[in-house]
């Protein structure tokens, strides 16, 4: 796939076909993604892949924890404690588009909650990834992690796969660690659903807005 097309057409896919992703295919994706840049070539990422029964156990563990009123225990704050404009408006419009694609009325709290919980089932994807970063590293390494994550998502598209990066899966690192040998002294940055996207699912047909270049580019003259 041509790189510009891979970038422009990438979306966060929330419905997948019942088709497994082979270990060989994932390793080919990561073989390409590993060439992401990092400051002084520190390469601060670790990836944990789960599938099958193990993935189901993690999903069940998180869902049970949430259903019982258990609190999140994320290693970091992803969102601000209070949204201000223009970010507040963008967040609201994003939610409205998602609920619209799912046919959910904004006042239907039960349906909205159910849609949120689908995060913890990896949206039905056959493969889940967890991305970790060593706590010994500083903020700059999180920038490196972002570039690596983008490489993973673009490389996945080159192999006919789609993805959805999810902070929701990083909200419960203790539950994840109950089922897998998470690397010690590492923060769980995010999870990711990965698989063959369902092209017929309405939730995969909407697109969120993006700023025009003129809105974020300033020529210093």
> What is the mean pLDDT of each successive set of 10 residues along the chain, which is 221 residues long?
93 98 98 98 98 98 97 97 97 96 95 96 98 98 98 98 98 97 97 98 95 97 91
Q: Which two tokens stand for residue 171?
A: 């909200």
Angle CA 9–195–142, to nearest 5:
70
Partners of 37 in the β-ladder: none
From the CB of residue 109, how many other CB atoms can be counted at a distance below 10 Å? 10
- Whether residue 216 contacts residue 27, with contact meaning beta carbons closer than 8 Å, is answered with no
Closest by Cα among 149, 197, 141, 199 to 169 = 149
The CATH number of the structural domain formed by 3-216 is: 3.40.109.10
Res 152: pLDDT:
98
Q: Which two tokens stand for residue 192?
A: 């990711």
Res 200: pLDDT:
96
Residue 85 CA, chain-centre distance (Å), reads 24
The total number of residues written for the chain in this structure: 221
Q: Which two tokens stand for residue 27?
A: 């390793």
Backbone angles phi, psi at 104, to 5 degrees: -105, 130
State how far the Cα of 88 lies from the Cα of 94, in Å rounded to an integer: 10
pTM of the model: 0.96
Going by the DSSP 8-state scheme, the letter that residue 202 receives in this structure is G
Res 1: pLDDT:
79
Q: Where are the domains of the chain?
A: 3-216
């Amino acid at each position: 796939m041509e790189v510009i097309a891979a970038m422009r057409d990438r979306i966060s896919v929330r419905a997948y076909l019942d088709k497994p992703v082979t270990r060989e295919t994932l390793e080919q994706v990561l073989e390409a993604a590993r060439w992401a840049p990092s400051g002084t070539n520190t390469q601060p990422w670790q990836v944990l892949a789960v599938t099958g029964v193990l993935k189901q156990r993690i999903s069940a563990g998180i869902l049970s924890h949430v259903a019982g009123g258990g609190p999140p225990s994320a290693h970091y704050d992803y969102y601000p404690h209070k949204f201000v404009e223009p970010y507040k408006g963008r967040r609201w419009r994003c939610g409205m588009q998602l609920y619209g694609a799912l046919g959910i009325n904004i006042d239907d709290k039960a349906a909205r909650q159910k849609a949120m919980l689908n995060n913890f089932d990896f949206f039905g994807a056959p493969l889940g990834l967890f991305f970790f970063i060593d706590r010994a590293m500083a903020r700059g390494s999180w920038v490196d992690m972002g570039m690596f994550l983008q490489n993973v998502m673009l490389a996945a598209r080159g192999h006919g796969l789609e993805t959805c990066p999810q902070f929701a899966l990083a909200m419960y690192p203790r539950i994840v660690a109950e089922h897998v040998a998470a690397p010690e002294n590492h923060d769980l940055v995010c999870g990711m659903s990965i698989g063959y996207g369902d092209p017929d699912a309405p939730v995969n047909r909407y697109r969120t807005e993006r700023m025009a270049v003129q809105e974020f580019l300033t020529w210093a003259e």
